[in-house]
Amino acid sequence: MANNLAILGRKLGMTRIFNSDGSAIPVTVIAAGPCPVMQVKEASKDGYNALQLGFDPIKEKHVTKPLKGHQDKAEKGYFRILREIRMEDVDGFEIGMEIRAEDFAPGDKVKVTGTSKGKGFQGVMKRWNFGGMPASHGHEKVHRSPGSVGNNTHPGKVFKGKRMAGQMGNKRVTTLNLEVVGVRAEDNLILVRGAIPGSKNGLVMVRKQGN
């Protein structure tokens, strides 16, 4: 299989398993696929190479007519989630083919993309790890404030990208260089060493990483 293959899944949670040498490994369990290929996009026709994958089956009555027509082509049922994955080349992939957990093997390096847990509107101390202001020595009502945000008449503005308070979390995050520890084909599970973004039951995309 291509070395930048990807699969869609749900984060189930974390646990620990014991290695053959007795050490404990923290793992995240991902219920991945099976994801049928719903559409193959080719550079000659669409301008780029990609596969559209389906994930999370739903009943026919919950699909809108336009989407039904699109998904009927693969004859694999109907899916809540359709996502495109960019490929270097799509030779050997056909509509209706399934990408499954066993396409990943222990030892593979993967990157996992998900939506991080939303933290709401947060101040600079939590959001950007600012130090805040002293608790005493004349400081009043400013203990968690950011302090100065710039200079004076020159430059006369606050620079773009200045780290300030605002929405934290609930955005797309990718964790790189995660190791696949185990694959359970019978339950469609992928076990990845360490933590991945998002909450339990969150949608994640597991992508193989090239060297």
Partner 1 sequence: MNPIKKIELEQMRIDMPDFKAGDTVKVHMRIIEGEKERIQVFQGAVLRIHKGTTNATFTVRKVSDGVGVERIFPLHSPYIERVEVVSEGKVRRSRLYYLRKLKGKAARIKQKNAWG
**Structure token pair of residue 104:** 């990943």
Q: Which stretch binds partner 1 (CB under 8 A): 15-23, 50-58, 100-108, 161-169?
A: 15-23
Q: Which residue has the tokens 């990408």?
A: 99
The answer to the question of residue 13 lying near partner 1 (CB under 8 A) is yes
The answer to the question of residue 15 lying near partner 1 (CB under 8 A) is yes
Candidate list 18, 140, 160, 210; residue touching partner 1; CB under 8 A: 18
Candidate list 35, 40, 53, 191; residue touching partner 1; CB under 8 A: 191
The answer to the question of residue 140 lying near partner 1 (CB under 8 A) is no
- CA-wise closest residue to 2 among 121, 103, 148, 119: 103
- CA-wise closest residue to 25 among 207, 209, 191: 191
The answer to the question of residue 195 lying near partner 1 (CB under 8 A) is no
Candidate list 75, 94, 140, 187; residue touching partner 1; CB under 8 A: 187
Contact 174, 84 (CB under 8 A): no
How are beta strands 35-41 and 50-58 bridged, if at all?
A: antiparallel
Q: Which stretch binds partner 1 (CB under 8 A): 22-30, 69-77, 106-114, 148-156?
A: 22-30
The answer to the question of residue 192 lying near partner 1 (CB under 8 A) is no
Q: What one-letter code names the amino acid at 131?
A: G
Contact 36, 55 (CB under 8 A): no
Residues in the chain: 211
Contact 37, 97 (CB under 8 A): yes
The answer to the question of residue 189 lying near partner 1 (CB under 8 A) is yes
The answer to the question of residue 17 lying near partner 1 (CB under 8 A) is yes
Contact 54, 68 (CB under 8 A): no
Instruction: State the number of binding residues for partner 1 (CB under 8 A).
Output: 16
Which 3 state secondary structure label does DSSP give 144?
Answer: coil
193 contact partners, CB below 8 Å, separation of at least 6: 25, 26, 27, 178, 179, 180, 181
The answer to the question of residue 135 lying near partner 1 (CB under 8 A) is no
Cβ proximity to partner 1, 17 vs 149, nearer residue: 17
Cβ proximity to partner 1, 19 vs 64, nearer residue: 19
The answer to the question of residue 29 lying near partner 1 (CB under 8 A) is yes
- Residues engaged in binding partner 1 (CB under 8 A): 12-13, 15-18, 20-22, 24, 29, 31, 184, 187, 189, 191
